Amino acid sequence: MPPKRLSAAEYATGIRAGSRTVLGRAITLVESTLPSDHALAQEVLQAVLPHTGRSLRVGITGVPGVGKSTFIEALGRYLVETKGLKLAVLAVDPSSQRGGGSILGDKTRMPWLSAQPAAFIRPSPAGSSLGGVARATREALLLCEAAGHDVIIVETVGVGQSETTVHGMVDFFLLLMLAGAGDELQGVKRGIMEMADALCITKADHGNEQAARRARLDYQSALHLFPAAPSGQVVPVLLTSAVDGTGIGAVWEVIETYAAATRTSGYFERRRQQQQLQWLHQSIAQALKSRFYADAAVRERLPAVQSAVAAGQLTPFAAAEELLGL
């Protein structure tokens, strides 16, 4: 028997009271693509909205193999055990299939955290469209904040457009890197390094220390050539070993210092407001495009028009006008 459907007020009360079951069900609700769930989900969000915004939102990315899960397990353990904080870990991975063994869908990759009452781990919502996955994750983030989590980690894989998406929903964006000569960067999308608020070289252990230190110097000089970050803060390069815990506390210190400095300067709050407005306008743009490309006449005509444009037989602007006139 499936659990009885709760009212928006019951969801909100349960979340606020710290019920993990209700929080989990509320996230399932915002992830649902059923039209019948949609209005209720929006009602729940609206009800908890006054209780959101109080966490520190941290984005973490890095290519597969960089040790993201191990890093998050170590950082999370530090936050829970040493700092006494309540932590939620969310993920954005449009390629993940719930139950299909996706790297982000597997709770067992963070065994210690998974067993903690103070940590809430949720795999990436399933879905093929980044827009849908992003919306669900942003809304899950608000629900976790209303549930009183102090820190929300949003992780993503180091490929595709998902970094930009995660960057648009967090206060601090951390890029995990491996030490080495540069080859391991092939998988990192261009532009990601310039979005990072800090770089962290992982696996600086087991005889790898020297390579890690050299990589740190290299990245530091490279970052020095970059334009200043819009936050006004220096982008540090850190060394960590998740195995022996080296540098994990220093990472958290960097994040806390950043948050304090940008709160004082006003950048922190300004950026959050910008993110909210960006989300509004992106939602609108996406809805307008979905409607347009779902139109029967457009769908019928689009392939021929695209071929003509790609073949140089029709200017893109004339083609756009033709489709818009349908």
* CA proximity to 208, closest of 84, 67, 83, 110: 67
- Give the count of residues interacting with a second copy (CB under 8 A): 61
**Interface segment toward a second copy; rule CB under 8 A; list 2-10, 11-19, 38-46, 87-95:** 38-46
Burial-class residue 163 by CB neighbours within 10 Å (0-12, 13-18, 19+). buried
**Interface segment toward a second copy; rule CB under 8 A; list 14-22, 71-79, 112-120, 287-295:** 287-295
**Interface segment toward a second copy; rule CB under 8 A; list 70-78, 109-117, 120-128, 220-228:** 220-228
Cα–chain center distance at 81: 24
Strand runs labelled E in the chain: 56-62, 87-92, 119-121, 151-157, 172-178, 198-202, 237-239
Question: Which of 212-236 are b and which e, b meaning 16 or more Cβ less than 10 Å from the residue's Cβ?
Answer: beebbeebeeebeeeeebebebebb
According to the binding rule CB under 8 A, does residue 97 interact with a second copy? no
State which residue, 195 or 250, has the beta carbon closest to a second copy: 195
User: Is the CA virtual torsion 104, 106, 111, 116 positive or negative?
Assistant: positive
User: Residue 41, SS3?
Assistant: helix
User: Do residues 162 and 92 lie in contact, with contact meaning Cβ atoms separated by under 8 Å?
Assistant: yes
According to the binding rule CB under 8 A, does residue 288 interact with a second copy? yes
- Contact track, a second copy, 167-206, x by CB under 8 A: ---------------x--xxxxxxx-xxx-----------
Report in angstroms how near the CB of residue 85 gets to a second copy at its nearest. 22
Report in angstroms how near the CB of residue 55 gets to a second copy at its nearest. 13
C-alpha 16/C-alpha 112 separation (Å) is: 25
Among residue numbers 302 through 321, which ones bind a second copy (CB under 8 A)?
305-306, 309-310, 312-321
According to the binding rule CB under 8 A, does residue 222 interact with a second copy? yes
According to the binding rule CB under 8 A, does residue 267 interact with a second copy? no
Binding residues (CB under 8 A) for a second copy: these are 42, 45-46, 49-50, 52-53, 135, 138-139, 142, 182, 185-191, 193-195, 218-219, 221-222, 224-230, 273, 276-277, 279-280, 283-285, 287-289, 292, 305-306, 309-310, 312-321, 323-324
